[in-house]
Amino acid sequence: MTVRLDYDSFDLGGMTWEDAEEAIPNADFLVLPTGSVEQHSIHLPVTVDTLRAEALSRELVESASEHDLSMVRLPTLPYGYSEHHMNYAGTITLSAETYMHVVEEIAQSMAKHGAKRLVLLNCHGGNRSPLKLAGDRIQRDHGVKVFFVHWTDFARDKLKERFGEEWGHAGDHETSVIELFYPDLVKSDKKESQTRKARFEARQYTYFDDITEQGGLGDPTESDAEFLEEIVAETTEKILSALSEDMEQEG
């Protein structure tokens, strides 16, 4: 399930407009989790990035009070920019321009209701560029400070240390996350080392099947949900510390 209906008190999705009228302007941060609907090899569902955004944003907002921060979590944006995966069935993509406009207009709505700061908590690499451009527009045109948090950037060193260089798309790392939070969605009998078709040094691939056979990278059989549980806790703390420090630098 990509949208939680058992809302917590920090979830905008469970608030009335009167609740939101108070919560939005009083929050230190609004958090917009961003994912995608795209192929993740033959053992993981197409909603991996959205499921990660849902679970990891919940971990973040639940822990915010430990850093004396108040947060309101917006409903997870399930669709992203995934054109490079369109040769695999089940993938849904927005154009980069549409995606930028959607994110900007979400922020514009929140600005109307008194939002001060917006965390774009991203869990899909393809969203990086359009999110950063949308962030520019949000800050410059709508007066909301934007904090871009690509979750794996804050965990990258530990993930590389444990899984090596190719832990990315549908590989060791993402398989571990889904096994941790949504184990019933992993087809364990389909987990296999991913077949790399090409390793370009300079050329951009056109579609993801230029570089992989099954649709993923790395070796999902090396997944480790127990290790990931430790990394989630550690990374959540790193992100909250970064947000606190950035906020303290505001004039």
Residue 140 gets which letter from DSSP? H
Does domain 12-244 bear CATH number 3.40.50.620?
no
CB-count burial class (<10 Å; 0-12, 13-18, 19+) for 218: buried
CB 58 within 8 A of CB 31: no
CB-count burial class (<10 Å; 0-12, 13-18, 19+) for 238: middle
Compute the 3-state secondary structure of the chain and give helix, strand, coil in percent, each to the nearest 5: 50, 15, 35
CA distances, 108 to each of 7, 105, 115, 149, 230 (Å): 24, 5, 9, 19, 36
Res. 3 pLDDT band, cuts 50 70 90: low
pLDDT in tens, 236-248: 999 999 999 999 9
CB-count burial class (<10 Å; 0-12, 13-18, 19+) for 50: buried
Gap between the Cα atoms of 136 and 6, Å rounded: 33
pLDDT in tens, 167-225: 889 999 999 999 999 999 999 999 999 999 999 999 999 999 999 999 999 999 999 99
Mean pLDDT of 93-97: 98
| Entry pTM | 0.96
| pLDDT value of position 2 | 47
- Identify the CA nearest to 123 among candidates 94, 82, 86, 160: 82
Q: Is the pLDDT of residue 1 over 60?
A: no
Domain ranges of the chain: 12-244
Tokens at residue 55, please?
A: 């679970």
Q: Specify the higher pLDDT residue, 5 or 138.
A: 138
Q: What contacts 15, CB < 8 A, 6 or more positions away? A: 23
